[in-house]
Chains A and B, each alone.
Chain A
Amino acid sequence: MNFRLDSSRGFTIGIAELTGRLDAQNSKELQKTFVSWLQKTRCLVLDCSAVDFIDSSGLGAIVGCLRKTLEAAGELKLAGLNAKVAMVFELTQAERLFSIFTNAGEAAASFAAAPDSQK
């Protein structure tokens, strides 16, 4: 998991690149690490373009991340879901909970349209 902060838009956006499988083995770690990211900024993007498999616990972790973000009045966006991961989101209707973008750049750009989150 690679995390970087992008301040090019005048406020800080945290972009996390998730890789490989997102399953029971590493979903707890994601949730734990996510708390530390959330302390740095409340505008977050999970870039899933390198995620090739997700199971229900991985999905649960991402939903958990969303809940934490909303509690902190922040915003969480997803980017770059491949066809297989997108199908899991669709199947479980989790796609309705998230704003999903084709890539991290678009996801980051979308924050500007919602300056509310930068309080």
Chain B
Amino acid sequence: MKTLLAIREREYEWVQQAFPSIHPLLLPICNKPFTEFLIDFAILAGSTEIRLLSDGPLGKVEDYCEDGSRWGIKLSYGHLQAEDSLPELLNKSRKFCTDDRIMIISGFSFIHYDKQLGYANFMSLMPAGTCASCPGGNITLAGPPETSAQELPALPLTLMPLNQIESYFRISMETLETGAARYVLPGYGNEPGCAIGRNVVISKSSEIIKPVSIGNNVQILSGAVIGPGAIIGNNVIVDKESTVKSGIILDNTYIGEHLEINGRIATGNTLIDPARGASIAMEDPHLLSGIRSADKRGSAIRKTVHLLAAAILVALQLIPFLLLFPLLKLLGRWKSGMAICHGAGHGKSFTLPTTLITGNGPLASLASSLSLDRLPLLLRIFTGQLAIIGSTPVPVTLETVVLPGEHQGYRPAVFSYAEAEEWPVNDSDAAIVERYFIVHSTPLKDISMTLKALLNRL
């Protein structure tokens, strides 16, 4: 058997409005893209070849699903016109439809099925015609049954329209609750109702209450309460003491401290009430904000910009340093040492020079205001160990052996974003502003932040 998936753009228009950064056909339901549920079902129903037809762009779907070899099937893509009837669809894919039996799943709707049941037999026995439908969607069989009718098994198979944010929320929650018993869901977990992805850091003092689904690259910080009924996407940070229950946090979202998300959808800096459809974009980045996924090209540009800035700074500091350093050293005001600090990657560490200029004399204060104590650190930018601006390097001590496990938001640097922003020099607060900017800053902004940090010391 083969399957045609026919989804028209007008059926998923609402998704583009509600979540502009997500391709509607990849809309995650319980952390699994919508199209994958259809593919799973088509395979369960005995398909070896699937074709996805749409009048909208399929590029992103193709990038994600590729040729279907991941599922051991052949997946191809085609086009339709919004007003095409079923015979027209079959005609447009005539070469594809060589098998006697074709299953056509049309509409942007969610299929309730049970992965443990034998749909293949069911689908080959059913007479031609519609075998399940809902407003805006149906599953139809074309061609004669593969074997002549025996007793038809009764199998649960219903469709639910995915036509607005409310139904999306409801279907997501239902899928989370029915869980891996009925659907193939992503994530690991040794008990039902709790699926956790790769590279997830969960603070010891946080609480996870089933059912939950957590994606990849997620940080749950101390005191956070996740669940029951929480779906956390990929690249999400839930900051300290925040609660997420009966809620969906979509990919690339930062949830600030002491917040409560209950019965809501958060995506980037937008909070949506699924029941009323109301949404609000937070302008405060410390409440909700989007996390841009760092692309490699961007980080190369950033590194180059940082190197150039460091070279200019070293050149500027060199003469004052040569004049002041011997004097301060003689007076015993320049104290230098070494400290082992955490590196940017997980479990990495390196030694860094530490410098302390003591005393209140004119020479010492001049040296500090010119940030001469940072010169030895500046040289570490050329070795690639430090960035010019980022996080304050965290020394490796007994308490911080595991820290910073949150290495994604950690970029050891000569100057810290916290210094530039003059945040209260309280370690945990500083780490927040640093984490925030590490995700949000651009190379150009880095330079202006570095200047700010320098000026703050004058």
Contacts and interface: CB of A to CB of B under 8 A. Distances in A.
A55 B280 contact: no
Interface string B175-198: 000000000000000000000000
Interface string B265-300: 000000101001011101110111000000000000
Contacts of B273: 83, 87
Interface stretch (B138-146, B199-207, B256-264): B256-264
Interface in A83-119: 83-84, 87-88, 90-93
Contacts of A84: 278-280
Nearest to A83: B278
B276 A91 contact: no
Given A92-B258, A92-B259, A87 B287 contact: no
**Which label, helix, strand, loop or mixed, suits the secondary structure of the B interface?**
loop
Contact of B278 (A23, A56, A87, A92): A87
A87 B272 CA distance: 9
Contacts of A91: 259-261, 264, 271, 287-288
A90 B262 contact: yes
A57 to B, nearest CB: 8
Given A91-B271, A92-B258, 8 more contacts: A55-B284, A83-B278, A87-B273, A88-B282, A91-B259, A91-B264, A91-B288, A93-B259
Contacts, number: 38
Contacts of B262: 90
Give the size range of B's interface with the partner. 10 to 19
B258 A87 contact: no
Contacts of A92: 258-260, 287
Interface of B: 258-262, 264, 271, 273, 276, 278-280, 282-284, 286-288
Nearest to B286: A56
Contacts of A56: 284, 286-287
Contacts of B261: 91
A55 to B, nearest CB: 5
Given A56-B286, A56-B287, A83-B273, A88 B280 contact: yes
Contacts of A83: 273, 276, 278
B278 to A, nearest CB: 4
A87 B271 contact: yes
Interface in A21-77: 23, 53, 55-56
B452 to A, nearest CB: 19
A78 to B, nearest CB: 17
A91 B283 CA distance: 14
Contacts of B288: 91
A53 B271 CA distance: 13
Nearest to A95: B260
A55 B271 contact: no
Contacts of A23: 283
Contacts of B260: 90-93
